[in-house]
Structure 1
Amino acid sequence: MSMFKRFRIDTNQLYIILISIIGCCFFILANKGEFLYYTTSQWVWLYAMLGSALILNFFTFQLPPQGNVQSMDSSIYLACIFIYGAPFALSIILFNLIIFIIYFRNISWWKHFANFSIYSLMIIGSSYIYNLTGGQIGPIQNEKLHAYIATLIVYFALNVSLLGLYFYLHYKGSLYEILKSFLKDTLLVYLSTLVLSLVLSILIVHNGIFGLALFMGVSVMLSYSYKKLFKMYNEIQEKAIKDQRTGLFNHSYFESLLDTEVKKSKTAGTPLSLAMIDIDDFKKYNDQFGHLKGDLLLGFLGKFLKDECEPAEVTASRFGGEEFTILMPGYDENKAQNFMNRLRKKLNDTYFDGVEIFPAGCLSFSAGIASYRDDIYDKAQMVDLADQALYYAKKQGKNIVHVYGSGSVKEYEIDFDEDVRDIEQQLKLFLYKDVDTFKHSKRVFRYAIDMSEVLNLDSIERRTFVLGALIHDIGKLEIPWGILNKQDKLTPEEWETVKRHVSWGKRIAETNEKHAELVPYIELHHERYDGGGYPHGFKGSQIPRLCRMLTIIDSFDAMTSERPYQKTKTYEEGIAELRRCSGTQFDPELVEIFINYMEQRIIEQQQPAAGFDS
């Protein structure tokens, strides 16, 4: 790793040296020491243009949203090319370099030379194109508009390519993305630069020094206005993403940031943890002291979280009410738990007026932590897992940090039988609409119970997997009776209706908080391992592992269960079909696990080779 880093630094240095040598050589060839032979009038204009360039370089500004630093000094150099020629513009660049080296000694000398070389190449290249396209030195000519535009394009292209290549070598990102970002950020500025350079040229030709002074006045005011605009933009953006009561980021910003960080973790494989925080007994404090005092407590906690989270490079946000979130990129669950426990203990030891009324006699919070896993395909899942972990923390007596999946079996047995009865009650609606779907759901449910033991799932995974298997076809309740029970081949329109059952099922499940965690099994059980499924076309590990197993179970039971007017496969035929579709429709590893289970089951039960319905 150190060798690679050394190589990267050497590459950057080599690029800077190369650009500096090329720029200086071209400067010497193009300028030829012309300034040594200037008349007094030419020296006056050189000083005037040099001073103008320095002033505009000082009055830099930023444009929303990225805030990259810009200046209008390029309009001076382009105007010099149009009126006096490239050697004159290069003379200004040379004296500019000398002044910068003398007065900005805190900046490395090589940066000054690199900047000088890049500007020299931009001026020489654009001047060459200006002459090539018929441009003439002197007053602006309307019929030569194409030459002015070509000059700007080359000036702009050299700037973007030379700087873009440096950033590419330095940061090792995507060259295309870097160049695209440069184009997007600077295109408007350079179009404005062309207009300004033409205006300046006209003012100088017709009004001399007064025209230059007039131009500088307008340019400085514009630069100042841009500065104020950027400041105003930042203030508005700050209000849009901040919660005014606590000073933390608001819910909308948190969701956007979480989505970004989940995608980063998915792409780069880096750890990510999310903590959900709830102030213990906050309602009691509000009832005792009133909402105004309660708001002060929220503000106090917001400042506390901000002060503690910023040095740790984690982001605190207000989720809503007395709930907060802490997003921790780069933190695995152990590191996240240690951080949250230190935070919790420090808050316990921090006094706030009126905390004596709390049961523990101090400020406290309960927190639930969820860490990113490969089977998380949506930001909402992380929030749900962290929220469940918070629920378990509250259940254990408050003032506790609980990591999702870290508790004993007893902690996570949340009335499993009652959940099953609740789902079965909904599925009984199929008894009047499609009894086969009801019976199929029950069989898949029993397969899932067996497979949860084969896969050695923990109690949480077992619960969601088994309940997900039971409820996976709930969306078929929305399919019209005529389509659901049609014996003939479905039309393309009818098939599209059937496919929507996964989306309908998702909506049904989301109406009940207890079933929200089962959504992936409902929504994704028709995704294929090769990406040819629906509704999203996910492939491979994009589909959660247990959803991939549910797809196998669901398909196997559909093949081997008896239905009127349909040919039923034997277990052996079903197993053969699973193997045939292994790697395309089904996960090959999970297919073999299920097949081994089925073959063992056939041997143990000594069943004939036919489907069953129990």
Structure 2
Amino acid sequence: MSKLKSFAASLDSGHIYALMVCLIGIGLFSYTNGFEFFHYKPTSWVWVYAMTGACLILNFFMIQLPPEGNELSMDSSVYLACIFIFGTSFTLTVLLFNCLFFVIIDRNTSWWKHLTNFSIYCIMITVSSTLFQYLGGNPGALINTKLFTYLIVLTVYFAVNTLLVGLYYYILYRGTLFETIKDIIKDSVFVFLCSLALSLVLTVLVYHNQVLGLMLFMCLAVLLSQSFRKLFAMYRSIEERANTDQRTGLFNHSYFEEVLEQEIQKSRSAGTPLSLAMIDLDDFKKYNDHYGHLQGDKLITFVGETLKSESLNAGTIAARYGGEEFTLLMPGYDSQKARIYIDQLRKKLNNSPFSGVEIFPLGCLAFSAGIASYSSDIHDKSQLVDHADQALYYSKHQGKNTVHIYGEHSPLEQEIDFSQDVRDIEQQLNLFMYKDMETFRHSKRVFRYAMDISELLDIDPIAKRHFTLGALIHDIGKLEIPWGILNKKDKLEPEEWEMVKWHVTWGKKMALTNEKFKDLAPYIELHHERYDGKGYPYGFKGEEIPRLCRMLTIIDSFDAMTTERPYQPTKSFEEAIVELRACAGSQFDPELTEFFIRYIESREPRAGDPAV
């Protein structure tokens, strides 16, 4: 008994479920069939062999269905026809011989999988046949007045199959049972309809035309299979041309966008790393102008072929982004691993001979690359592309033929003309001076707070730049709000408040129109999200909101509480700190709230606002 318990404990739930299915299937076979085929007459054996052969042929000539390439076997139409013509016991005999044949020829599949498959079919056939008899069906000719009975039997046949398979995948992958069964039903609708039609056709042909009818059915099935194979091959050919860049053989921009979305979803769900590299050939224009476009196209083709072969070996996805720009999507690669891989690729291209490379400044083929890695605070694929593009920009300005990781500390990033960016944003904010002076002053104060906080936080220079500039421009969308609403002294009406909430979306769109400020869009759009998920515009919760956006929310709210507003009483710094702590965990990030409070309490006591 103890050995049995230890054996049961060693089995996972999937194996236990398969064992239960096998026991039920074998039990039903033994009870229903009783090995009565030992007493078959020669004529019965002829039909056993014929129907078994039909199943084997149909399993060989399977139908491939676009777009996924799922294969459909029509053997179920044979089993159903056997139920309708010969009865349950005969059908189970055909199933037994068919499965024994596959055990012999398919040695790669483990025996227990063959047994489980046999058991599932036993359950399906037995349940369907029992229902057929219960509804008044008798083996023999197809009866026109009982077509509804045949339809019910077929429905139950596939319902049992869907339930048994769905339960297995549900137990194995711990998904949602309803969603699992729904996916199986969606994929098997065509199977259901085909088997319905073909089983009834086979029933009529075999009953009235005997072996000739079976032969006609097999010809029809094989021709149908070949037609679908050609259709699938044509579909794949068209799909490949639609997804492939004809010049390089790499995936094109459209396909890259589609795969990027899929890989981000996978990375988000599984928590696995994902990196993206943007690659740009150095001084390609110089080569193109000197040797002409035809030779330039040959160079692009050569680089594309190199990237394609390397990506196949490394499990990465290479695409042509446009012109002399390429992308490499690297599932399972963190930023450092991606850097090593791209550096090796860069050095290989440096050492690859190609006609005319002596015209390049380095005397060889070279590219600059920018790498960005997916993180939980990236909500849109365009953000990842923008980060990689920004890293590529820095790589180009560090002397080319280099690889740069987005957010990595470098002297160049520290030399960004921060002051000029501030002046550019202030020119935008000056529009508030005639419309709403308080918003102008508020933006400047929040900017000052952000400058102080950015010195205390452990963030890289790029993040510091984005955070402080984002704080300065965070309310830019209020320029779109009508003057009467923006300066209203009384409490806003619900419809007016809804309009005010739109300022985050309008502000984001305004930032995206300027290439220099598109990285500031998250600070504009998300500074009214709440830690508990009750904010707007998306209702992001906790760490779904980028960390610095959560800090900006605290700063923005603190300044709003400590300055005079027409619709609320002004709080002292002490009162505002009490309010921050009261809302920590609901509106604000608790950890960042305490960090900000320590910063406020450490400043020298003063009555006024931070200096602007």
Q: TM-score, normalised by structure 1?
A: 0.93
In the alignment, is residue 422 of structure 1 matched against residue 407 of structure 2?
Answer: no
Segment of structure 1 superposing worse, 239-248 or 304-313: 239-248
One of 268, 275, 291 as aligned partner of 1:266: 268
Taking a change above 3 Å as real, the CA distance of residues 611 and 309 of structure 1, as seen in their structure-2 partners, is: same
In the alignment, is residue 53 of structure 1 matched against residue 52 of structure 2?
Answer: no
Q: Which residue of 2 aligns with 1:125?
A: 127
Q: Deviations over 1:445-482 (max 9, x none)?
A: 10110111121332111111000000111111111112
How many Å separate the matches in 2 of 1:504 and 1:339? 40
Q: Deviations over 1:540-593 (max 9, x none)?
A: 101001001111111111111124575322212222221221111111111111
How many Å separate the matches in 2 of 1:182 and 1:7? 30
Deviation at 1:173, TM superposition (A): 5.2
How many Å separate the matches in 1 of 2:366 and 2:180? 46
Contact 1:340 1:401 in 2 (8 A): yes
Find the residue that maps to 1:319 and give its secondary structure.
strand
Deviation at 1:296, TM superposition (A): 1.8
Deviation at 1:352, TM superposition (A): 1.7
One of 206, 209, 212 as aligned partner of 1:210: 212
Deviation at 1:20, TM superposition (A): 3.5
In the alignment, is residue 136 of structure 1 matched against residue 138 of structure 2?
Answer: yes
Find the residue that maps to 1:310 and give its secondary structure.
helix
Segment of structure 1 superposing worse, 21-30 or 279-288: 21-30
Find the residue that maps to 2:489 and give its secondary structure.
coil
Deviation at 1:407, TM superposition (A): 2.9
Deviation at 1:516, TM superposition (A): 0.5
Q: Which residue of 2 aligns with 1:234?
A: 236
How many Å separate the matches in 1 of 2:547 and 2:107? 59
In the alignment, is residue 333 of structure 1 matched against residue 345 of structure 2?
Answer: no
Contact 2:491 2:567 in 1 (8 A): no
In the alignment, is residue 597 of structure 1 matched against residue 596 of structure 2?
Answer: no
Taking a change above 3 Å as real, the CA distance of residues 203 and 583 of structure 1, as seen in their structure-2 partners, is: same
Deviation at 1:39, TM superposition (A): 3.4
Q: Which residue of 1 aligns with 2:252?
A: 250
One of 363, 374, 377 as aligned partner of 2:376: 374
In the alignment, is residue 412 of structure 1 matched against residue 411 of structure 2?
Answer: no
Deviation at 1:127, TM superposition (A): 0.8
Find the residue that maps to 2:314 and give its secondary structure.
coil
Q: Deviations over 1:53-99 (max 9, x none)?
A: 22111101221222222111110110110111011111211222333
Q: Which residue of 1 aligns with 2:76?
A: 74
One of 422, 429, 435 as aligned partner of 2:437: 435
How many Å separate the matches in 2 of 1:313 and 1:172? 28
Q: Which residue of 2 aligns with 1:576?
A: 578
How many Å separate the matches in 1 of 2:179 and 2:251? 29
One of 373, 383, 394 as aligned partner of 2:385: 383
Within 5 Å, give how 1:29-44 maps onto structure 2. Answer: 29-44=31-46
One of 331, 355, 358 as aligned partner of 2:357: 355
**Off by >6 Å, runs of 4+ in structure 1:** 6-9
One of 390, 396, 399 as aligned partner of 2:398: 396
How many Å separate the matches in 2 of 1:102 and 1:332? 46
Taking a change above 3 Å as real, the CA distance of residues 8 and 514 of structure 1, as seen in their structure-2 partners, is: farther
Deviation at 1:488, TM superposition (A): 2.2
Find the residue that maps to 2:136 and give its secondary structure.
coil
Q: Which residue of 2 aligns with 1:607?
A: 606
Find the residue that maps to 1:277 and give its secondary structure.
strand
How many Å separate the matches in 2 of 1:185 and 1:267? 23
Taking a change above 3 Å as real, the CA distance of residues 12 and 572 of structure 1, as seen in their structure-2 partners, is: closer
Find the residue that maps to 2:318 and give its secondary structure.
strand
Contact 2:245 2:320 in 1 (8 A): yes
Deviation at 1:204, TM superposition (A): 2.1
Q: Which residue of 2 aligns with 1:162?
A: 164
How many Å separate the matches in 2 of 1:492 and 1:322? 52
Contact 1:409 1:459 in 2 (8 A): no
Segment of structure 1 superposing worse, 442-451 or 220-229: 220-229
Structure 2 gap segments, 5+ residues each: 1-7
Segment of structure 1 superposing worse, 449-458 or 11-20: 11-20
Find the residue that maps to 1:69 and give its secondary structure.
strand
Within 5 Å, give how 1:523-562 maps onto structure 2. Answer: 523-562=525-564
How many Å separate the matches in 2 of 1:186 and 1:500? 45
Taking a change above 3 Å as real, the CA distance of residues 8 and 317 of structure 1, as seen in their structure-2 partners, is: farther
Contact 2:282 2:401 in 1 (8 A): yes
Find the residue that maps to 1:35 and give its secondary structure.
helix
Contact 1:562 1:611 in 2 (8 A): no
Contact 2:413 2:462 in 1 (8 A): no
Amino acid at match of 1:539: K
Q: Deviations over 1:317-357 (max 9, x none)?
A: 11121111111122111111111111100011111222121
How many Å separate the matches in 2 of 1:86 and 1:109? 25
Contact 2:205 2:213 in 1 (8 A): yes
Could you tell me the percent identity over the aligned residues? 62
Amino acid at match of 1:592: E
Taking a change above 3 Å as real, the CA distance of residues 239 and 335 of structure 1, as seen in their structure-2 partners, is: same
Taking a change above 3 Å as real, the CA distance of residues 200 and 359 of structure 1, as seen in their structure-2 partners, is: same
How many Å separate the matches in 2 of 1:109 and 1:453? 65
How many Å separate the matches in 1 of 2:406 and 2:433? 37
How many Å separate the matches in 2 of 1:383 and 1:38? 70
How many Å separate the matches in 2 of 1:9 and 1:250? 46
Contact 2:394 2:412 in 1 (8 A): no
- How many residue pairs get aligned? The number is 606
Q: Deviations over 1:417-442 (max 9, x none)?
A: 00000000111111111111111111
Q: Which residue of 1 aligns with 2:510?
A: 508
Amino acid at match of 2:420: E
Taking a change above 3 Å as real, the CA distance of residues 488 and 172 of structure 1, as seen in their structure-2 partners, is: closer
How many Å separate the matches in 2 of 1:564 and 1:101? 82
Find the residue that maps to 1:311 and give its secondary structure.
helix
How many Å separate the matches in 2 of 1:410 and 1:111? 60
Q: TM-score, normalised by structure 2?
A: 0.94
How many Å separate the matches in 2 of 1:457 and 1:407? 10
Please tell me the root mean square deviation across aligned C-alpha atoms, in Å.
2.2
How many Å separate the matches in 1 of 2:304 and 2:177? 41
How many Å separate the matches in 2 of 1:490 and 1:278? 52
How many Å separate the matches in 2 of 1:177 and 1:328? 30
Contact 2:408 2:460 in 1 (8 A): no
How many Å separate the matches in 2 of 1:454 and 1:102? 71
In the alignment, is residue 152 of structure 1 matched against residue 151 of structure 2?
Answer: no
In the alignment, is residue 199 of structure 1 matched against residue 198 of structure 2?
Answer: no
Contact 1:571 1:611 in 2 (8 A): no
Q: Which residue of 2 aligns with 1:94?
A: 96
One of 323, 326, 331 as aligned partner of 2:325: 323
Find the residue that maps to 1:527 and give its secondary structure.
coil
Q: Deviations over 1:171-229 (max 9, x none)?
A: 56555444333222112212220121112112222333332222222111111111112
Contact 1:242 1:248 in 2 (8 A): yes
Segment of structure 1 superposing worse, 561-570 or 342-351: 561-570
How many Å separate the matches in 1 of 2:388 and 2:121? 53
Segment of structure 1 superposing worse, 537-546 or 158-167: 158-167
Deviation at 1:292, TM superposition (A): 2.1
Taking a change above 3 Å as real, the CA distance of residues 541 and 290 of structure 1, as seen in their structure-2 partners, is: same
Contact 1:9 1:170 in 2 (8 A): no
Taking a change above 3 Å as real, the CA distance of residues 576 and 12 of structure 1, as seen in their structure-2 partners, is: closer
Q: Which residue of 2 aligns with 1:3?
A: none
Find the residue that maps to 1:537 and give its secondary structure.
coil
Contact 1:561 1:613 in 2 (8 A): no
How many Å separate the matches in 2 of 1:432 and 1:165? 66
Q: Deviations over 1:101-127 (max 9, x none)?
A: 444445444443333322222211211
Q: Deviations over 1:20-66 (max 9, x none)?
A: 44323322221123333333433333332222222111101221222
